Amino acid sequence: MSEKKLFGTNGIRGTVNVELTPEMAVTAGCAIGTFFGKKNLLIGYDARTSGPMFAKAVSSGLTATGCNVFLAGMAPTPALQFAVKNHKMDGGVIITASHNPPQYNGIKVIWSDGIEISHEQETEIENIYFQQKTQFADWKHLGAVHELAGINSEYIEAMKTHVDTTKIAEKHFHVVVDAANSVGGLAAPVLLRDLGCKITSLNANIDGTFPGRMPEPRPENLEELAKTVKALGADLGVAFDGDADRSIFVDETGQIHMGDKTFAVVLKQFLLENPNAQVVTPVSSSTLIKDTANAYKGEIVWTKVGSVTVSQKMKEINAKLGGEENGGVFYGPHQAVRDGAMTTALILGIMAKTGKKLSELVAEQPQYFIEKGKIECSEDKKPKVLEKLLEQVQGMNINTLDGVKIWFDDKSAILVRPSGTEPAYRMYAEAKTSERAVELVNEYTSRLKKILETI
Ligand code: MG
């Protein structure tokens, strides 16, 4: 195994021309091409200013190793993932830094099923990259470069087959779409128009400097959307992240709902239609998801935190639904990956079918108070801290897939987990009262402090 890392928790990612340079992208392309071995690969990018530069650099590396490259151009990540599968490609590369600020970019590698490659496969590519094991093709066997137009329209058409288009169209929903000046604007507005919606667009022009808002759909970035939905009396607002695989919704009163709540809306309807189904979600998800699964006869399959893990597990057990608290919903009948536009169509389908507004659908759910905490912890101490904490919580209702999640009898819960990106432990507590959530974070912060003093 290589000591050095190229892939982080979200593929290869870094600031443009500082941490991630065109030279690295060419070499990464060579390593990815060697890993696949003279195959057909699709490549596309989000709206960042460096997208075409990195797409061309990676393409050069791929063709140098004999892979044929199909240039799809600018597209949402889920549209590229859908196209890899739809066009029977052997894999794909997506140039995106998802929700990061505009000075970042990244390289994601997709397998033939449209799902990101596993961490083991990433390690194989890293070994080729760092040990210079690239297998160059001779001049007669270089890969060819083709253009593949129209993947966004194919993706939009496919999504329409998974919802009741007539029922949605009858409602003439007014939807405000905040596309973050990125690729979310290339699919969702067209899909919604086809679904008979009236659309008001925010940040719809493609601009890789992201002048409208930062691409992370956090509440502080969505105030304009919330105000617009309320002021116009629209039925729904939706905001995408930079590559449009995640979506966060605003109800007709202007209230922003984080991903757990809208995932629970989708989950309830799904279980009403698919009783006893399995649903995949990371241990970071709210107890709300567990409650919904219990109430509507679903079985939760927990995973570690991370969208690739959810996708892989869905595929392994043939589950049709997955979801994350950050606004990622995975609808298997379309594709087992996060998909912002598909989630929007599902939510509209539920509003049309039930005749309920999003605020009503959310108000039906059990309510929880959330409290977050963080404590510094160096990388070398992380495993020992977890080991000591696990000794303390033995016998409690726990899950140890990723850090430790503890459920208590009063319906409160806490996840204590080493951060994947920082020298720290993070805590997410939820409870029926805010006092209890705060109390849990305080209790586990002091437990971790004491452990840190002894190791
Ligand atoms: Mg994303």
Residue 42 near residue 83 (C-beta atoms within 8 A): yes
280, 422: one domain: no
Whether 317 is covered by a domain: the verdict is: yes
Torsions phi, psi of 181, nearest 5? Answer: 60, 20
What's the CA-to-centroid distance between 46 and ligand 1, angstroms?
Answer: 10
| pLDDT of residue 453 exceeding 70 | yes
How many Cα neighbours within 13 Å face the side chain of 304?
A: 13
Q: What is the pLDDT of residue 421?
A: 79
Distances (CA, A) of 13 to 105, 106, 287: 6, 4, 32
The answer as to whether 290 is a domain residue is yes
Is 331 a domain residue? yes
On whether residue 6 sits in a domain, the answer given is no
Answer yes or no: is 129 within a domain: yes
51 and 74 Cβ atoms separated by less than 8 Å: yes
Residue 89 CA to ligand 1 centre (angstroms) = 22
Q: Do 112 and 36 share a structural domain?
A: yes
Verify that 350 and 435 share a domain, yes or no.
Answer: no
Which of 333, 363, 393 is the last residue before a domain boundary?
363
**Using an 8 Å Cβ cutoff, are 51 and 127 in contact?**
no
Which single residue is written with the structure tokens 């899909």? Answer: 191
116 and 244 in a single domain? The answer is no
pLDDT at position 4: 76
**Out of 292-296, 339-343, 419-423, least confident range:** 419-423
pLDDT band at 2 (very low <50, low <70, confident <90, very high): very low
pLDDT at 385: 97
Question: Over 60: is that where the pLDDT of 1 sits?
Answer: no
Rounded CA separation 140/118 (Å): 32
> Tens digit of pLDDT for each residue in 236-287?
999 999 999 999 999 999 999 999 999 999 999 999 999 999 999 999 999 9
* Strand ranges for 198-291 from DSSP E: 198-202, 236-240, 247-250, 256-257, 278-282
Task: Tell me, yes or no, whether 333 and 396 share the same domain.
Answer: no
Mean pLDDT of 115-133: 95
Compute the chain's Rg from CA coordinates.
22
Please check the confidence at residue 19 and state whether its pLDDT lies above 70: yes
Facing residues of 202 across strands? Answer: 178
Query: What pLDDT sits at residue 258?
Result: 93
Domain range for 413? 369-454
Which CATH number characterizes residue 61's domain? 3.40.120.10
**Predicted structure pTM score:** 0.95
Last residue of some domain: 149, 178, 210? 149
- Count of the separate structural domains present in the chain: 3
pLDDT tens per residue, range 355-387: 999 999 999 999 999 999 999 999 999 999 999
What's residue 5's pLDDT? 85
CA dist., res. 311 & res. 415, Å (int): 21
Question: 345, 329 in Cβ contact below 8 A?
Answer: no
Show which residues are catalytic. 98
Residue 45 CA: distances (Å) to CA of 52, 55, 77: 7, 7, 8
Ligand 1 centre to CA of 245 (Å) is 5
What is the CATH number for 395? Answer: 3.30.310.50
Q: Comparing C-alpha atoms, which of 161, 227, 152 is closest to residue 184?
A: 152
Q: Give Cα 370 to chain centroid, integer Å.
A: 21
- Tell me: do 330 and 417 sit in the same domain: no
Same domain, 133 and 214: no
Same domain, 358 and 422: no
- C-alpha torsion sign, points 340, 346, 362, 185: positive
Residue 5 forms part of a structural domain: no
What's the gap in Å between 349 CA and the centre of ligand 1? Answer: 23
Q: Is residue 1 part of a domain?
A: no
What is the CA(133)–ligand 1 centre distance, in A?
31
Strand 397-399 vs strand 404-407: parallel, antiparallel, or unpaired? antiparallel
238 Cα to the center of ligand 1, angstroms: 14
In a domain, 378, yes or no: yes
CB atoms within 10 A of CB 167: 15
Q: Are residues 380 and 359 in the same domain?
A: no
Q: Label residue 420 by pLDDT band (50, 70, 90).
A: confident
Output the CA 340–ligand 1 centroid distance in Å. 9
> Are residues 322 and 261 part of one domain?
yes
Work out the percent of the chain whose per-residue pLDDT is above 90.
Answer: 96
The answer to whether residues 355 and 375 belong to one domain is no
Q: What is the pLDDT of residue 3?
A: 58
Is 215 in the same domain as 92?
Answer: no
Mean pLDDT of 175-193: 98
Q: Given 133, 149, 165, which residue is the final one in a domain?
A: 149
Tell me if 6 sits within 8 A of 29, measured CB to CB.
no
